[in-house]
Chains A and B, each alone.
Chain A
């Protein structure tokens, strides 16, 4: 099944077919294209243009000044750190989940697949809220730290001594980000691995390869584009998440502000040029994501058609 991912490689490559022979009358074509172009212009091109236009409104100097601010730099650093933890974590999960779902049959498989999709359907605000409920000072974690007679007193003492903070600190931001980007890699890999079947793996095992070797040399090369695809989507969302992170961040400047939160702060400081300058960096990231995505789709279709012509 191709769950609620926007696009899945498995699906996308099906449409390499190109235009068909039957054509609508010219006026239908013109009408369709006009409507489509207007829609794209108003909802896609214009917002993108607005970001860059507003960012450069006061010239290139003001644009670059936005990045001289140490708070902006630390926001960029935090965003990169968060993505650097969240994406690999979800990558490992995605591979493990798709391995057991695509290669094995077991009871409750479809429930598991649905549960993996769950974070897609949950509002980002709720994603943040639930972590506050678990880890906040008034939440389970806080209650544990303040408990008079806790379970495992040694653990409580250790946690207090370490002063290990989750909410309003980097771990909370990372956790909320992992939640929000949870299904991305898994959702890409499951249909891909299902479609590919396991014959090559059996062959490798029969030839004497062990489990890891089979995975590294047989499975991984087959799924590498899907993997990469999932990773860049996951990364784009991880760097851009606003709602969930806003709930758990605490908005300490230079410490727990990610780039999207920094945009909000600048926006609220009459500093529109800087807000849009940081935004333009994020928009640039989005564009790079789109380019990479198109490139992978192209690679994938090409390797498929190569394979098809070989066999």
Chain B
């Protein structure tokens, strides 16, 4: 037998193997607090996909500050899907390198946000500082933990929520800036991601109050017990919509477009919504999951980024770009 025919047989065998049951690998690049959510969800989706098509899907995860994760994808991290903290970071994938089309947000229901969340306060048991609302955070002597808005998506929601609260209560952007500056004077540690901040507050015992994703606060409560921490819900908060999208340029190259889309669509299924609720994210579309988890989420007046700040592009430019308000409040 000639060597070339050996190769042919090997090739034929290989393709036959692929046709029978494919092993597919997806990479989901996500932000900090979704680790536990996607560990569960990936398992559920793998089972669902194998039952449906016979193919085995392994979903790899990468977590970090939302902005940092977007940057890695732009630099070539081969993410099939991104599930980031805010639409502004996903927009960056279009603006830098045209990895996705401009209208990505219209491709999935509910503006590509399968679950929502909000910002609450986590305080130490008994609420010794008597934290009730945003203005308590700017009082002298209160130590506040929040991550760095330059790198963390969650921190941008925090910052904007505080800003909007002050603007409504004190009237005007100038007053809001003064308020936010006072508040950030109370921040002793600025971690680069939400998870780093949780660790600082929960494990290292720094700070009186932690401005946190609602889901992260619940998780801390679950992990460490209500005898250690309490959740305080402010009078006004922001409707946080973490968004998801398929990264077209990557899936086209890898040939994973179909399964990547199915992966994200499954987030909107009854099971996907239920898993989100179980991990303290507010289900966005399923009435059943909404009803099931309604009791666990506190009632709070929420505003959207669109109504208060004219969308992410505007908010990023005004507040988080170099020389924006966040840089200004730290200027001496």
In the complex, A touching B (Cβ < 8 A)? yes
B72 touches which of A168, A253, A265 (Cβ 8 Å): A168
Cβ contact within 8 Å between A269 and B35: yes
Asked if A254 CB lies within 8 Å of chain B CBs, one says yes
Cβ contact within 8 Å between A268 and B32: yes
- Hey, which bits of chain A sit against chain B, CB under 8 A? 132, 135-139, 142, 163, 165, 167-168, 250-255, 265, 267-270, 272
* A interface secondary structure, majority: loop
Cβ contact within 8 Å between A168 and B60: no
Complex CA distance for A199 and B75, rounded to whole angstroms? 53
* B interface secondary structure, majority: mixed
B50-80 contacts to A (CB < 8 Å): 60-64, 72, 74-78
Q: A168-B77, A270-B203 are in contact. List 7 more A-B contacts (CB 8 A).
A: A135-B76, A137-B75, A163-B253, A251-B62, A252-B61, A270-B199, A272-B203
> Which residues of the partner chain B approach A138 to less than 8 Å between Cβ atoms?
74-75, 96-97
Cβ contact within 8 Å between A268 and B195: yes
Known: A250-B62, A252-B62. A137 touches B74 (CB 8 A): yes
B60 touches which of A165, A252, A268 (Cβ 8 Å): A252
Cβ contact within 8 Å between B78 and A251: no
Asked if B153 CB lies within 8 Å of chain A CBs, one says no
Q: List 24 A-B contacts (CB under 8 A).
A: A135-B76, A137-B76, A138-B75, A138-B97, A139-B75, A163-B253, A165-B76, A165-B78, A167-B75, A167-B76, A167-B77, A168-B75, A250-B62, A250-B72, A252-B27, A252-B61, A252-B62, A252-B77, A254-B60, A267-B199, A268-B193, A269-B35, A269-B195, A270-B223
Cβ contact within 8 Å between B35 and A250: no
Complex CA distance for A135 and B75, rounded to whole angstroms? 9
Cβ contact within 8 Å between B77 and A250: yes
Cβ contact within 8 Å between B75 and A136: yes
Asked if B234 CB lies within 8 Å of chain A CBs, one says no
Complex CA distance for A252 and B199, rounded to whole angstroms? 21
- Hey, which bits of chain B sit against chain A, CB under 8 A? 27, 32, 35, 60-64, 72, 74-78, 96-97, 193, 195-196, 198-199, 202-203, 223, 253
Complex CA distance for A267 and B76, rounded to whole angstroms? 26
Cβ contact within 8 Å between A253 and B62: yes
A169 CB to nearest B CB, Å: 8
Complex CA distance for A254 and B32, rounded to whole angstroms? 17
Complex CA distance for A277 and B252, rounded to whole angstroms? 40
Cβ contact within 8 Å between B199 and A132: no
> Which residues of the partner chain B approach A168 to less than 8 Å between Cβ atoms?
72, 75-78
Complex CA distance for A165 and B77, rounded to whole angstroms? 9
Q: Which residue of A lies closest to B61 (CB)?
A: A253
Known: A250-B77, A251-B63. A137 touches B97 (CB 8 A): yes
A272 CB to nearest B CB, Å: 7
> Which residues of the partner chain A approach B32 to less than 8 Å between Cβ atoms?
268
Q: Which of A135, A163, A269 has the most chain B CB atoms closer than 10 A to its own CB?
A: A269
Top 7 closest A-B pairs, CB basis? Answer: A137-B76, A136-B75, A250-B77, A168-B77, A268-B195, A251-B62, A252-B62
Complex CA distance for A250 and B195, rounded to whole angstroms? 17
Q: Which residue of B lies closest to A172 (CB)?
A: B76
> Which residues of the partner chain B approach A167 to less than 8 Å between Cβ atoms?
75-77
Complex CA distance for A135 and B97, rounded to whole angstroms? 15
> Which residues of the partner chain A approach B96 to less than 8 Å between Cβ atoms?
138
> Which residues of the partner chain A approach B61 to less than 8 Å between Cβ atoms?
252-253
A252 CB to nearest B CB, Å: 5
> Which residues of the partner chain A approach B60 to less than 8 Å between Cβ atoms?
252-255
B110 CB to nearest A CB, Å: 28
Cβ contact within 8 Å between A268 and B199: yes
Cβ contact within 8 Å between B223 and A132: no
Complex CA distance for A139 and B74, rounded to whole angstroms? 11
Q: Which residue of B lies closest to A254 (CB)?
A: B60
> Which residues of the partner chain B approach A268 to less than 8 Å between Cβ atoms?
32, 193, 195-196, 199
> Which residues of the partner chain B approach A251 to less than 8 Å between Cβ atoms?
62-64, 72
